[in-house]
Structure 1
């Protein structure tokens, strides 16, 4: 080891617990998820190709323009996946099974260059009747573009570990 190198002990790095537990959620609580994600034409084309979504709106800019769009249309499921992904750190990063999406509405088209952001509100929470140490939390999530226009909205539920179950 050189004289200018410093050895850091593991204790020099703070331990960060990821995600929230059941007790961290309160009905009516709003969580504005940070980051945001700008979707590119490459994202749109790759997603359409990988999912075999061969609608020319998703990969033919000229056709999309003929249909009244300013550019390619980003597949709505890519917009949904992006908005869900933006919410994971705040809602479900601690783990627990994803129980599904309900009341899904796509409100407007997304185009390459649009930046999506996400926010969620806790709608309900209750202890699980079949999984001791877990609760079920349901959120309403909205995805908006850079102009604040609503793009997609849905409810989603997860099984979330209770703090007491980890002690």
Structure 2
């Protein structure tokens, strides 16, 4: 007979920032970055049925003036949001959307991208008093510091005093 583990002795550890942790113009340099490989972009394009030959066929991309297949821009956006989660939204709360997405230049396999976010706005939620809405502008750069992507995103972020069960760590 298998017994269930007893989790009553675990310490609950909060993850991520809370609404009160954010202030306008606060800057977050997200962790070490991510190198995007050719396998990443081919698999992402295939898995999402993005059959555009530009992301799957080197000869086609080169005939279009690219030195290699470019990274699928939607993958770049997903990677960038992923780089920022630990600092911005890991504390929980619904994702409210991405706006003003601008891809500044192509990224090619083998490039490491890094991201930085700046808090643009914070406000209490009128419908959910235990939370606030935070909006950030994120800038993504390649290994030589060139801007490759910018966007804004917003999340509903829990307040420090909001009651919720934390995940045991």
- Answer yes or no: same fold by TM over 0.5: yes
Shift of 1:63: 1.3
TM-score after normalising by structure 2: 0.88
Shift of 1:62: 1.4
Structure 1 residue runs of 5 or longer lacking an equivalent are 1-10
1:119 aligns with 2:134: no
Kindly report structure 1 stretches of 4+ aligned residues shifted beyond 6 Å: none
The equivalent residue for 1:130 is 127
Question: Partners in 2 of 1:84 and 1:35 — Cα distance?
Answer: 14
1:162 aligns with 2:156: no
Shift of 1:35: 2.3
Shift of 1:142: 0.9
Match of 2:47 among 41, 44, 50: 50
Structure 2 residue runs of 5 or longer lacking an equivalent are 1-8, 165-169
The equivalent residue for 2:27 is 30
Alignment of 1:71-82 (within 5 A): 71-82=68-79
User: What is the CA RMSD across the aligned residues, in angstroms?
Assistant: 1.8
Question: Partners in 2 of 1:165 and 1:94 — Cα distance?
Answer: 11
Which structure features the higher share of helix residues?
1
Alignment of 1:2-151 (within 5 A): 16-151=13-148
Shift of 1:51: 1.0
Question: Partners in 2 of 1:42 and 1:50 — Cα distance?
Answer: 12
The equivalent residue for 1:8 is none
Shift of 1:15: 6.4
* Structure showing greater relative contact order (alpha-carbon pairs closer than 8 Å, 6 or more residues apart): 2
Question: Partners in 2 of 1:93 and 1:125 — Cα distance?
Answer: 17
Question: Partners in 2 of 1:82 and 1:16 — Cα distance?
Answer: 26
- SS at structure 2 position matched to 1:147: coil
Question: Partners in 1 of 2:114 and 2:149 — Cα distance?
Answer: 10
Shift of 1:132: 1.7
Question: Partners in 1 of 2:72 and 2:65 — Cα distance?
Answer: 16
Number of residue pairs matched by the alignment: 157
Question: Partners in 2 of 1:161 and 1:37 — Cα distance?
Answer: 28
